Structure 1
Amino acid sequence: MVLNESNAIPEFGSSRSAKDTTLDANKGAWPGIASIQVTRENGTWHLCSGALVSHRWVLTAASCFIGAGDVLKWKVVIGATDLAQPGHGAAVFQIKQLLKHQHYDPTTARNNIALLELEQPVECSDYIQLGCVPDSALAVPELRTCYIAGWRAAPDSAPGPRLVLQEAKVRLMDVQLCNSSRWYGGAVQPQDLCAGYPRGGIDTCQGDIGGPLVCKDKTHDHFWLVGLASWGKGCASARRPGIFTSTQRFHSWIRAHAGPSLTGPAPAPKATLNSPEPQELVPPKLEPPKLEPPKPEPPKPKPSAESSHPFMDISFPKETLTGFLRKLQEVLELLKNRTG
């Protein structure tokens, strides 16, 4: 978080000073915010923020992991307001895998969104809760009460920086205004949100990338996780508000990976006339092949009178034929003697 006191606009009442526009967050006030940290030889460092959206998944920005190296050695702290003294309500998790959006473009920050899967599931408590990602049914631009949060060095921290969670109220701004020539000149993507103030003064900064932008529902007493801190030019400058990745635009992508518990259980799909009811997939049973008796060959057709041979083939046993020839030879010899 960053506060430019010369430009800050009091948002908590006219009697407050510019210094009051960012407040230290009470413990448990941001139960879904996460600190993404890396441990190196010179200590453990907070690099980015994120938001818990499922018992195993933290939503953040893909730009946090440019040249990150082995992300599986990083860790995620949830439920803490003071990173130097997380307290009993906080929990630390190792990272199982990183899923960056497949079409993330680091040059334009298009599709700047990612998911971190945690090694162990998160148990919710007074200090740890899941954020609600809106679907297309919510009119996000109509929400008026919005807040950002991030860790900022405490002014009295010594000898080293002590990061404490701070919050501030912001306004959702018209994206076309943010994209005008005197502002961001067309660099804001269609799936982005713009939040802050025209004069600047209150803004997210480097360590807040991936952090949540939440807005209060117009009719119910809960907040929606509508954005993730993505980028900006400078911090808290005039006509340079914070740019946030709209979670609503990526609701289907988030749900596909993090599960259906983002906005409550989804209703079962109704069968239509053109769509058969879903069937359970059961592996086929393997049965032995049935052995059928061989089929008798059909009888050969008898030759007709026109096609039959004039002589009939007669076969005799060999001994009978030999005896017949011997008798015939004897008769011929007898006839020869009588004629002679």
Structure 2
Amino acid sequence: MDRKQQLVRLCLTLVILIGTTQGVLVPSARIIKLPIGNTVPTIEPRVLAGGRISGGELVQGEDVPYAAGILIVGQTGVRWCGGSLITSTYVLSAANCYTVIPNPIFVLLGASDMTNVTDIVIAETLIIHIGYDPQTSQNDIALLQLSQEAEIGPTVRPVRLPNWRQLQSTFNGQLATVSGWGALWHNAPEILPMNDLRRTSLPVITNLACNLRFPAAISDSQLCVEAESGSPCSGDQGGPLTVADPDGNSTLIGVFSYVSIFGCNSGWPAVFTRVTPYLQWIEMYSNAVISDDFEF
């Protein structure tokens, strides 16, 4: 790691330590122990021909092995969200999925086909960024600690996180892939989750361009993708946005946060939490280790 990278990493650490007194660390997350559900809720996924993750294509089991389906069980029903397996025991997701807690949370892995799920693991701990603001969607990021290790295999495998060298990367202009089991269009009547995992590839746009649609709403800790040809939709919150690496693997650059009030088929950009500003936070609250440089 060169001098500049060391200074950037030091600055990140200092940001987390701001507000401390006499060396006492101020927590940057709410850590919630979850009740352990005894029975997995019945999943009745819908099968529809065609349609628009809006505009998505079906994927096979090994195409997006890091995609996690998340069932949040409440007294009034079940909510569906997405996530990304980042280690064998941690899933990265969006804070907006967990508005009513604590509730049992089940994580479905290797579930490109909901009728043939590889592994279902109960989450034991929910970790929400302390700065999450539901009004502005800032710091919309959360971690789930699993109660046991996921069964790693061809259809279940952690996604690669950005390295420290990529800390200042904007990824502008790169084609990124979003995946999920969410609705195929705005206000669609289907019951979530959909039976099949879908994905679509969309270009990352500049924050300046995104702020033209969402005036003064997009910060440096967020990124946007153009969504004229497809978009994540209801039920995809927390899901992954990745870019392809030269070695054929994918790097996670975003966590789906929200779309315009006009809906996921409006053509407005989709907004994600940018992963790179939270690398230090992820490393602090999970067992993920951020690499210093590219490893391919």
Structure 2 length as normaliser, TM-score?
0.72
* Equivalent in the alignment of 1:51: 84
* Equivalent in the alignment of 1:237: 266
Once the two structures are superposed, the pairs formed by residues 92-107 of structure 1 within 5 Å of their partners are 92-107=120-135
| Residues 220 and 202 (structure 1), Cα distance of their counterparts in 2 relative to 1, 3 Å cut | same
Q: Which amino acid aligns with 2:106?
A: K
* Equivalent in the alignment of 1:75: 106
CA distance in 1, matches of 2:102, 2:75: 15
CA distance in 2, matches of 1:160, 1:224: 30
Name which of 124, 138, 145 aligns with 2:175: 145
CA distance in 2, matches of 1:230, 1:154: 17
CA distance in 2, matches of 1:142, 1:196: 11
* Equivalent in the alignment of 1:28: 62
Name stretches of at least 5 consecutive residues in structure 2 with no aligned partner. 1-50
2:199 is the alignment partner of 1:175:
no
Q: Which amino acid aligns with 1:172?
A: V
Shift of 1:105: 1.0
CA distance in 2, matches of 1:148, 1:123: 23
Contact 1:54 1:262 in 2 (8 A): no
The percentage of aligned residue pairs carrying the same residue is: 25
* Equivalent in the alignment of 1:221: 248
Shift of 1:54: 1.2
Shift of 1:21: 4.9
Q: Secondary structure at the match of 1:55?
A: coil
Shift of 1:27: 1.7
| Residues 143 and 76 (structure 1), Cα distance of their counterparts in 2 relative to 1, 3 Å cut | same
User: How far does the alpha carbon of each residue in 1:225-249 deviate from its partner, in whole angstroms, 9 at most, with x for none?
Assistant: 00000112121313x2110001111
Contact 1:50 1:58 in 2 (8 A): yes
Once the two structures are superposed, the pairs formed by residues 127-146 of structure 1 within 5 Å of their partners are 127-138=155-166, 139-141=169-171, 144-146=174-176
Q: Secondary structure at the match of 2:280?
A: helix
Q: Secondary structure at the match of 1:163?
A: coil
* Equivalent in the alignment of 1:256: 284
CA distance in 1, matches of 2:211, 2:54: 30
* Equivalent in the alignment of 2:221: 191
* Equivalent in the alignment of 1:302: none
Name stretches of at least 5 consecutive residues in structure 1 with no aligned partner. 1-7, 9-17, 267-340
| Residues 223 and 19 (structure 1), Cα distance of their counterparts in 2 relative to 1, 3 Å cut | closer
Task: Figure out how many residues of one structure are paired with residues of the other and give that number.
Answer: 235
Contact 1:168 1:202 in 2 (8 A): yes
CA distance in 1, matches of 2:92, 2:253: 12
User: How far does the alpha carbon of each residue in 1:152-179 deviate from its partner, in whole angstroms, 9 at most, with x for none?
Assistant: 4699xxx977431111111001110110
User: How far does the alpha carbon of each residue in 1:2-28 deviate from its partner, in whole angstroms, 9 at most, with x for none?
Assistant: xxxxxx9xxxxxxxxx99952111122
Q: Which amino acid aligns with 2:97?
A: C
Q: Secondary structure at the match of 2:202?
A: strand
CA distance in 1, matches of 2:281, 2:237: 20
Moved more, 99-108 or 18-27: 18-27
User: How far does the alpha carbon of each residue in 1:138-163 deviate from its partner, in whole angstroms, 9 at most, with x for none?
Assistant: 234256231111114699xxx97743
Shift of 1:258: 1.3
User: How far does the alpha carbon of each residue in 1:199-219 deviate from its partner, in whole angstroms, 9 at most, with x for none?
Assistant: x241111200000000012x4
Q: Which amino acid aligns with 1:149?
A: S
CA distance in 2, matches of 1:207, 1:154: 10
* Equivalent in the alignment of 1:279: none
CA distance in 1, matches of 2:184, 2:138: 33
Q: Secondary structure at the match of 1:250?
A: helix
Once the two structures are superposed, the pairs formed by residues 276-291 of structure 1 within 5 Å of their partners are none
Q: Secondary structure at the match of 1:255?
A: helix
CA distance in 1, matches of 2:191, 2:254: 31
